[in-house]
């Protein structure tokens, strides 16, 4: 994980089987040089009526990385990467470490 803005889906995954994309995210202004307890964390709520594409909203608020509990489906992953947003999931040691430090897992 590098320095930058990170979004973590509130319920851990980018999508829900019945309701579509997650709308609530923890937004972290991550600085690798600072302890986790000193990271700036806020809540971001995506309004699909105002910004129809999740990737556009994430980009607009300055998110460079998304950390999920589970790897998103391939189409979602490709869309995120195409928008310049890196996606880390449970398979990533850096993601596991960050989620554990933030008491998300």
pTM of the model: 0.82
* Alpha-carbon Rg for the chain in angstroms: 13
Residue 90: per-residue pLDDT:
73
Walk me through the domains of the chain, giving residue ranges and CATH numbers: 4-101 (3.30.420.130)
- Under a CB-based contact definition with an 8 Å cutoff, are residues 85 and 65 in contact? yes
Please return the burial class of 64, using the count of CB atoms within 10 Å of its CB with bins 0-12, 13-18 and 19+. Answer: middle
Per-residue pLDDT of the chain in tens (105 residues, 90 and over written 9)? 455 889 999 988 898 878 889 999 999 887 667 766 667 789 999 999 999 999 999 999 999 999 988 888 899 899 999 999 999 887 778 777 777 766 655
Residue 3: per-residue pLDDT:
58
């Amino acid at each position: 994980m590098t320095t930058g803005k990170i979004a973590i889906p509130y319920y851990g995954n980018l999508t829900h089987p019945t309701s579509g994309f997650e709308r609530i995210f923890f937004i972290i202004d991550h600085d690798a040089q600072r302890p986790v307890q000193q990271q700036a964390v806020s809540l971001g709520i995506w309004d699909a009526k105002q910004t129809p594409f999740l990737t556009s909203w994430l980009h607009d608020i300055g998110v460079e990385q998304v950390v999920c509990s589970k790897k998103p489906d391939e189409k979602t992953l490709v869309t995120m990467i195409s928008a310049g947003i890196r996606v880390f999931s449970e398979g990533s040691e850096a993601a596991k470490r960050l989620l554990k430090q933030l008491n998300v897992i």
